Structure 1
Amino acid sequence: MRGAGEPLTVEPLALRGVARGEVAVDIKAVGVCHSDLHLVAGDWPVDEPLVGGHEASGIVTEVGDGVDDVQVGDHVVLSWFVACRRCRNCLSGKAWLCTNTNAVANRLPDGSTATTTLDDEPVWPFLGLGAFAERVVVPAAAAVVVPDELPFEIGALIGCSVTTGIGAVTSTAKVPYGASAVVFGCGGIGQSIILGLQLAGADPIIAIDLDPRRRAQAENLGATATLDGSDPNLVATVQEMTEGGADYVFEAIGRTSTIEQCPPMLRAGGVAVLAGMTAIGARASIDPFDLADQGKSILGCNYGSSVPAVDFPRIARLYLSGRLPLDALIGRTRPLGEVNTALEDLRAATGLRTVLIP
Structure 2
Amino acid sequence: MRTRAAVLRHIGLPHPYRESRPLVIEDVELAPPGRDEVLVRIRAAGLCHSDLSVINGDRPRPVPMALGHEAAGEVMQLGAGVTDLAVGDHVALVFVPSCGHCLPCCEGRPALCEPGAAANGAGTLLSGARRLAQPDGAPIHHHLGCSAFAEHAVVSRRSLVKLDPALPFDEAALFGCAVLTGVGAVVNTAQVRAGQSIAVIGLGGVGLAAVIGAVAAGAREVIAVDLSSQKRETALSLGATSAFDGADPECVDKIRAATQGGLDHVFEFAGSIRAFETAYRITRRGGTTVTAGLPPPSATFALPVVNLVAEERTVKGSYIGTCVPTRDLPRYVSLYRSGRMPVDRLMSGRLTLDEINEGFDRLHRGEAIRQVVVFP
Give the structure-1-normalised TM-score.
0.98
> Could you tell me whether the CA contact under 8 Å between 1:213 and 1:351 is conserved in 2?
no
RMSD value, Cα: 1.0
Provide the residue aligned with 2:265 in structure 1: 248
Matches within 5 A, 1:84-103: 84-101=99-116, 102-103=119-120
Structure 2 residue 362 is the aligned partner of structure 1 residue 345: yes
The alignment of Structure 1 onto Structure 2 pairs a total of residues equal to: 358
Provide the residue aligned with 2:3 in structure 1: none
Distance 2:288 2:122 in 1: 31
Further displaced range: 217-226 or 3-12: 3-12
Provide the residue aligned with 1:3 in structure 2: 10
Structure 2 residue 38 is the aligned partner of structure 1 residue 34: no
The counterpart of 2:179, out of the listed 155, 162, 174, is 162
Amino acid at match of 2:45: V
Unpaired segments of 5 or more residues in structure 1? none
> Could you tell me whether the CA contact under 8 Å between 2:98 and 2:159 is conserved in 1?
no
Matches within 5 A, 1:227-246: 227-246=244-263
> Could you tell me whether the CA contact under 8 Å between 1:82 and 1:142 is conserved in 2?
yes
Distance 2:210 2:59 in 1: 24
Identity %: 39
Aligned-pair distance for 1:105? 2.9
Aligned-pair distance for 1:104? 3.8
> Could you tell me whether the CA contact under 8 Å between 1:263 and 1:296 is conserved in 2?
no
The counterpart of 2:170, out of the listed 130, 143, 153, is 153
The counterpart of 2:313, out of the listed 269, 283, 296, is 296
The counterpart of 1:310, out of the listed 310, 320, 327, is 327
Distance 1:69 1:104 in 2: 28
Aligned-pair distance for 1:163? 0.8
Amino acid at match of 1:81: V
Aligned-pair distance for 1:111? 1.5
The counterpart of 2:58, out of the listed 43, 46, 67, is 43
Provide the residue aligned with 1:178 in structure 2: 195
Distance 1:69 1:3 in 2: 39
Distance 1:264 1:282 in 2: 18
Aligned-pair distance for 1:289? 1.5
Amino acid at match of 1:22: E
Question: What SS class does the counterpart of residue 19 from structure 1 fall into?
Answer: coil
Aligned-pair distance for 1:311? 1.2
> Could you tell me whether the CA contact under 8 Å between 1:81 and 1:104 is conserved in 2?
no
Matches within 5 A, 1:1-358: 1-6=8-13, 7-101=22-116, 102-358=119-375
Distance 2:176 2:82 in 1: 21
> Could you tell me whether the CA contact under 8 Å between 1:260 and 1:286 is conserved in 2?
no
Give the structure-2-normalised TM-score.
0.93
Question: What SS class does the counterpart of residue 24 from structure 2 fall into?
Answer: coil
